[in-house]
Structure 1
Amino acid sequence: MGGAGLAAVAGPALLGGCSRIGTGNTMDRIRDQGYVNVGFANEAPYGYTDLETGELTGESPELARAIFAELGIDELRGVPVQFDGLIPGLVGGQFDMVSAGMAITPDRCAEVSFTNPEYLSRTAFLVPEGNPEGIDSFGVIADNPDLRLGVMNATIEQQTAEDAGIPGAQVQTAPDPVSAFELLETGRIDAVSLTVISLRWMLDVRGGPFEVTEGFFPVIDGEEQVSGGGYAIRHEDDALREAVNEKLAEFKDSGRLLEILQPFGFSTDELPGDLTAAELCEA
C-alpha cells in the first residue's frame, strides 16, 4: 500500500470494543450489531494502521472486510494490542477475533481455534548488505555465540530460535517490527527474523544498507516446519469459524484471495492451497 507506515498507535476511532464485548453466540451478535471487533498488532503488512488515513488495513483486515461483507456485516472495528496480548485479549473478550496474520501453531491451538490459513508463512532474516556473517538459518546463529538475533516477542520466530538451540542470551526480543529494525540499525543485533513478507515490506518502507535472505520453512530435528497464518477465534465460536472458512474457500477457488493479498506483497508462492488449520494444529 502506497505511503503506508509500518505501525502506528491507533486513534480513538479504532478503539471500539476495548471493554468485554459480551457473551452468547458471536456470529448472531455481530450480524445483529452490524460490525465485528478484531484485534491487531500493528505489524505491516498483516494488520496495521495506515499513517496517512488512520484506517486499519493490511492483508488480514482487508480480507476480513471482504469476507464479512459477503456475510452481511459491513463494518470492521480494530482494537490495537501488543502481539503477546492478542490471544489473552481474544479469550478475555476484548474482540471477536484476531486479524493479524497470526501463525497457526499447536501451542496456540490449545488456547484458541483458528480458521484455515489464508497464506503460507516462510521465515527469513534481515541482515546487513552482503550478509557478512552468512546467516541463512537459525543453526548458523546457534553455532556462533558471538551472533545476536532479534525477534518479536511471542512470535513463532522466537519459538523457532529456542527450538533450534539458540541460547536466550543471544536473542533480543522487541515489541514490534520497527523496534527490531532499530536494534539492527544500531548494531545491537546481527539479524532480525520475521516472515519474509514482513521483512521485505519493512525494508521497502525504511530502506537502509540491509537485505532480506531467501524465505524458507525452518527445519527442526529433521522436520520441515511448514507455517501458515489465519484468524484466531475463541474455541466456542464454531459458527463464526465455519462461516469464515466457507467464504475463504470460495475466495481461494475464485482467485479473489490472491487479488486481496497481492497489494501487500503476497504472491502465488504464499497461497495455502488445501492446507488446513487442523493439520497445522497437529504439526
Structure 2
Amino acid sequence: MNRKLANIVAALGFAIAGATAQAHAGELADRITSGKSIRIGFANEDPYAFPDSNNQPVGFVNAIALGVLKQMGYDNIETVVTDWGGLIPGLQSGRFDMATGGLYILKSRCESVTFSEPLAKVTDSLIVKAGNPKGLTNYEDIATKGAMMVTGIGYSNIEQAKKAGVPDSQIMQVPGQTEILAAVESGRADAGATGYLLSRSVAGKSGGKLEATDPDAMPGSTQNWVSIAFRGSDKDFVEKFNDAQKKYIGTPEMMKAVEAYGYDAKLLPGDKTAEWVCANR
C-alpha cells in the first residue's frame, strides 16, 4: 500500500470512528456539547422536588441531582415545572432532559424511561383524619372497609392499591398533594395515599386536622426506590451520572444538602440496583 492510499484509509477510519461515537451520543450529551442547558423537570411535590418562591429547584431529589451534576462539572441548569402526570410525557417529548420529580422505579415505567440508580428508599403511608376514626392503616383496610382513597394522577399508589384489592370505584385521582389534602379534609375521601415523606408533609400542612399513618403497617411490597428518569436514548449520560452519584450518595456534603427536607440515613437507598427494582416492582 502506497503512502497516499494509506493516508486515505486512515482518514476513513477516523471518520468512521467519529461517526460511531456520535451515533452513540444521546440527545442530552449533544445538548451539553453544543453549550445548551440541562433541563430538569419536576412537579410541586414537597419534600421530593418543588419550586421555591423564585422558581428555583428545591426538595431532596433536586438537591441530590444538582449535587451530582456539580460533581460532573455541570452547572448550566434550566428549571421546568409541570404537573405530576406530565413528568414522563414531558421527558419523552423532549420538553426537559431529566425528570427529578421523585419518581419511583416501577416495571411499568422502566418500559418508557431509563432510571438512574436509586437515590432513596421509601415506604407508602396513608393520610387520615386526626385520630384515624375509620382505622385505616393499609390498602387492605381500604378495600375491606369500602373506604374512598385519594391519590395523585400517575402515582404508584394506584398500582399498589389495586394489588391489594381496592377497586377503581374506591380510588379518586387528583393532580397533586394540594388536592389530596383538600379531599381528605373535606371528607370526600377517607384516606390519601402517598409515600411516607409526602404523607407526613401533607398532614403537617393541615393544622392538626390530619395525620400520617405508620409506614410499618404497610406490606413490604410497598417499599419503593426513588430515582431520576432519563430518556432511553440518553443511556450514555446515565452511565456517567450513575458513576458520579455513587461517589456522592451518603457523603457529608449530600446529607447536609438534604437535611432540611427530612432525608436522613434511614432513607439511603441500600444495595438494590435500578435493574433489580425494574424487575421486582
TM-score band w.r.t. shorter chain: 0.7 to 0.9
CA distance in 2, matches of 1:59, 1:246: 19
1:228 aligns with 2:225: yes
Contact 2:123-2:222 within 8 A present in 1 as well = no
CA distance in 1, matches of 2:176, 2:42: 12
Partner of 1:26: 28
Secondary structure of the corresponding residue to residue 249 of structure 2? helix
Shift of 1:187: 0.8
Contact 1:121-1:270 within 8 A present in 2 as well = yes
Matches within 5 A, 1:7-156: 24-33=26-35, 35-51=37-53, 53-145=54-146, 147-156=147-156
CA distance in 1, matches of 2:217, 2:133: 22
Shift of 1:24: 4.7
Contact 1:149-1:193 within 8 A present in 2 as well = yes
**1:173-193 deviation digits (Å, cap 9, x = unpaired):** 110101110001111111111
Larger radius of gyration: 2
CA distance in 2, matches of 1:135, 1:161: 13
Percent of aligned positions that are identical = 27
CA distance in 2, matches of 1:77, 1:207: 34
Contact 1:201-1:265 within 8 A present in 2 as well = no
Matches within 5 A, 1:169-184: 169-184=169-184
Secondary structure of the corresponding residue to residue 194 of structure 2? strand
Partner of 2:20: none
CA distance in 2, matches of 1:241, 1:120: 20
Secondary structure of the corresponding residue to residue 211 of structure 1? strand
Partner of 1:11: none
Partner of 1:259: 256
Secondary structure of the corresponding residue to residue 247 of structure 1? helix
The residue type paired with residue 56 of structure 1 is: P
Contact 1:34-1:74 within 8 A present in 2 as well = no
**1:15-74 deviation digits (Å, cap 9, x = unpaired):** xxxxxxxx95412422542631011111111111113x3322111112111111121211
The residue type paired with residue 275 of structure 1 is: K
Q: TM-score under structure 1 normalisation? A: 0.85
Contact 1:151-1:158 within 8 A present in 2 as well = yes
Higher deviation after alignment, 209-218 or 148-157: 209-218
Shift of 1:257: 3.4
Q: TM-score under structure 2 normalisation? A: 0.85
Partner of 1:4: none
Shift of 1:106: 0.3
Contact 1:83-1:154 within 8 A present in 2 as well = yes
In the superposition, relative to structure 1, how do residues 235 and 206 fare at CA in structure 2: closer, same or farther (>3 Å)?
same
CA distance in 1, matches of 2:233, 2:27: 9
Give the unaligned 5+ runs of structure 1: 1-22
CA distance in 2, matches of 1:225, 1:206: 25
Contact 1:65-1:75 within 8 A present in 2 as well = no
The residue type paired with residue 257 of structure 1 is: M
CA distance in 1, matches of 2:29, 2:141: 47
CA distance in 2, matches of 1:24, 1:116: 18
The residue type paired with residue 236 of structure 1 is: S
Structure 1 or 2: larger helix share? 2
Shift of 1:216: 3.9
